[in-house]
Amino acid sequence: MKFPTPRPRRLWLPIAGALLLISGIAVPPGVASADPRQQLQHTPGPGAARWVATWGASPQDMGNNNYTGTIRNIVFAAVGGHSVRVRLTNTFGNQPLKIGDAYIGVSGADGNIHGPNVPLTFAGSRTTTIPQGAEALSDPVSLTVPALTDLAVSVYVPQATERTGHSDSRETSYITQGTDHAGDTTTAAYAPTSSWLFVDSVDVMAGPPNQGTVVALGDSITDGAASTVNANKRWPNDLARRLNARKGVTLSVADEGISGNQVLQDTSSYGVSALNRFDRDVVDRTGAKDVILLEGINDIGAADAQANQLIAAYQQLIARAHAAHLKIFGGTLTPFKGDWEIATGYWSPEKEQTRETVNNWILHSGAFDGVIDFAKATADPSNPQLLNPAYDSNDHLHPNDAGYQAMADTINLPMLLRPVTG
């Protein structure tokens, strides 16, 4: 089996004499250590505060190279802190991306700011230009971010550009055309939109109980498809609530699901494959400690992948996680038999057998650092080829809010919290 060639990783390239590009991330001087990648991924001692990703979303090519204006991205913070920084993205841009203005503040789902709307800077400047294919990390700013709350990341783009973002946000964000409203405290000048644009992740400086970031890598089921809009009912959100409620050490959660995504193949509509985006979305995610992998249904249903192909890809992802000193947990593939799936050929008895073979390997191979039986948690007890009716969003593929909660509830928290060894 020949895997797609991962995109090249760029290190130590000068940008406009002021920034350094590390793995596609523009890092301000004064923030980076002697080795800037260590600054992003260094693990502090157990009693120290650390940077972790409180929110993330995998970048996708959103097209439209004529956009100018302001996007107010409403994102959900998994954990809190008193210092914050934002990673902006031009991963799929066709030219350098000029950032004319950017702010962050605590908000409601309506996008209105509750408290200060804090300007972001990049190497001390209110503006920056992100090279084609790169990302820019803002300077840290002081802002009290409560856990499990919405943040508004407002970005003004003054020059016509192609958009990098995330298409199915399950969150109402707000957008203007042509004008700078990043500093506004209300959304009076904005119109609603269902996508995030130009923002990749938000980091907070978390206190000592937080031991790092769990990265959820997957497809639409991790992306929260069919969950209630503006309710943050994706299973990674529910996992964040469970972790936030426990006493003692805990973790943040970053959701790197893409609807329609595949493990093996890049697609124009559904993003870069898990194999090709693993370094960008997992290894380089701030504070990454654990990975939960739940992906493969689209490979089986849409691309007729065979069990041995998916297993070989999982083995590669496991090896790459371990090389980066991350623990990786395998999630079993949830049931996907339904009327539409049968009518379109997305599901067949042969494809069901592939799913079951893959799940058997996940559960019994011992290749992962642990397993999470999402299939058992969501299946109809009387027919495990079907979603439990109580958890079915009615498309027989995606769980509803209760189903996503059941997925989060089946995750063994002590398993996630075990120290990384080796």
Residue 44 domain flag? no
Residue 264 domain flag? yes
Structure pTM? 0.90
- Report CA torsion sign: 191, 240, 83, 23: negative
Q: Using CA atoms, how far apart are residues 11 and 310, in angstroms rounded to an integer?
A: 31
Q: Using CA atoms, how far apart are residues 29 and 84, in angstroms rounded to an integer?
A: 17
Among residues 167, 202, 237, which one ends one of the domains?
202
Answer yes or no: do 69 and 139 share one domain. yes
The range of the structural domain enclosing residue 129 comes to 11-31+50-202
Answer yes or no: do 166 and 253 share one domain. no
Residues 6+ apart with CB under 8 A from 158: 68, 98, 100, 180
The predicted pLDDT at position 44 comes to 59
Among residues 202, 224, 245, which one ends one of the domains?
202
Residue 5 domain flag? no
Spell out the SS3 assignment of 344-377.
HCCCCHHHHHHHHHHHHHHHHCCCCCEEECHHHH
The predicted pLDDT at position 11 comes to 27
Answer yes or no: do 289 and 165 share one domain. no
How many Cβ atoms are within 10 Å of 104's Cβ, its own excluded? 28
Q: What share of the chain is helix, strand, coil (3-state, %, to 5)?
A: 25, 35, 40
Q: Are 166 and 195 in contact (CB under 8 A)?
A: yes
The predicted pLDDT at position 42 comes to 43
Q: Are strands 383-387 and 210-218 parallel, antiparallel or unpaired?
A: unpaired
Q: Using CA atoms, how far apart are residues 222 and 280, in angstroms rounded to an integer?
A: 17
DSSP string, 8-43: PPPEEEEETTTEEEETTEEE-TTTS-SSHHHHHH--
Q: Tokens 């130590």, residue?
A: 12
Q: Domain of 330: which CATH number?
A: 3.40.50.1110
The token pair at 369 is 């650092």
Answer yes or no: do 297 and 409 share one domain. yes
Answer yes or no: do 77 and 154 share one domain. yes
Domain count, the chain: 2
Residues 6+ apart with CB under 8 A from 344: none
How many Cβ atoms are within 10 Å of 79's Cβ, its own excluded? 26
Judged by DSSP in three states, 118 sits in strand
Q: Using CA atoms, how far apart are residues 300 and 282, in angstroms rounded to an integer?
A: 23
Residue 256 domain flag? yes
Using CA atoms in the order 159, 164, 167, 173, what is the torsion angle rounded to 10 degrees?
-50
Answer yes or no: do 289 and 256 share one domain. yes
The token pair at 336 is 């996907």
**Residue spans of alpha helices (H) in 296-422:** 297-303, 307-323, 339-344, 349-364, 374-378, 401-409, 413-417
Helix (H) / strand (E) containing 243: helix 235-245
Answer yes or no: do 134 and 268 share one domain. no
User: Residues in the chain with pLDDT < 50?
Assistant: 1-42
Q: Tokens 């995998």, residue?
A: 58
Helix (H) / strand (E) containing 241: helix 235-245
Mean pLDDT rounded to a whole number for the chain: 90
The predicted pLDDT at position 29 comes to 31
Q: Using CA atoms, how far apart are residues 297 and 264, in angstroms rounded to an integer?
A: 11
Q: How many alpha carbons fall within 13 Å on the CB side of residue 178?
A: 0
Amino acid at 145: V
Residue 1 domain flag? no
Residue 2 domain flag? no
Residue 262 domain flag? yes
From 76, 242, 50, 244, select the one nearest 145 (Cα to Cα).
Answer: 76
Answer yes or no: do 158 and 226 share one domain. no
